[in-house]
Structure 1
Amino acid sequence: MSDVTAKATIAAYFKAFNAGDTDAMLACLADDIAHHVNEGRIRTGKAAFAEFCAHMARCYREELTDMVIFAAADGTRGAAEYTVNGTYLATDAGLPEANGQTYRLPAGSFFSLQDGKITRVTTYYNLADWVAQVSA
Structure 2
Amino acid sequence: MTTRDQIHAYFEAFNAGDTAAMLEMVSEEVAHHVNQGGVRRGKARFAEFNAHMTKCYRELLTDVEVFVGEDPTRAAAEFVVNGEYLTTDEGLPEARGQKYVLPAGSFFELKDGRISRITTYYNLEDWIAQVSA
- The amino acid across from 1:80 in the alignment is A
Give the structure-1-normalised TM-score: 0.96
Q: Does 1:43 align with 2:40?
A: yes
2:98 aligned residue: 101
Query: Structure 1 residue 72: deviation in Å?
Result: 1.6
Q: 1:23 aligns with which of 20, 25, 32?
A: 20
Q: Identify the structure with bigger relative contact order (alpha carbons < 8 Å, sequence gap 6+).
A: 1
Unmatched tracts of structure 2, length 5 or more:
none
CA–CA distance in 1 between the matches of 2:3 and 2:114? 8
Correspondence for 1:123 among 108, 115, 120? 120
List, as ranges, runs of 4+ consecutive aligned residues in structure 1 with deviation greater than 4 Å.
none
Letter of the 1:70 counterpart = F
C-alpha separation between the residues in 2 aligned to 1:70 and 1:117?
17
Would you say how many aligned residue pairs link Structure 1 and Structure 2?
A: 133
The Cα RMSD (Å) is: 0.8
The residue aligned with 2:110 is: 113
Residue 87 of structure 1 aligns with an amino acid whose one-letter code is E
d(CA) in 1 for partners of 2:27, 2:76:
17
- Letter matched to residue 121 of structure 2: Y
Identity of aligned residues (%): 65
For structure 1, list consecutive stretches of 5 or more residues without a partner in the other structure. none
User: Per-residue displacement from partner, 1:64-110 (whole Å, max 9, x unpaired)?
Assistant: 00000011223110000000000000000000000000000000000
Q: TM-score, structure 2 length as denominator?
A: 0.98
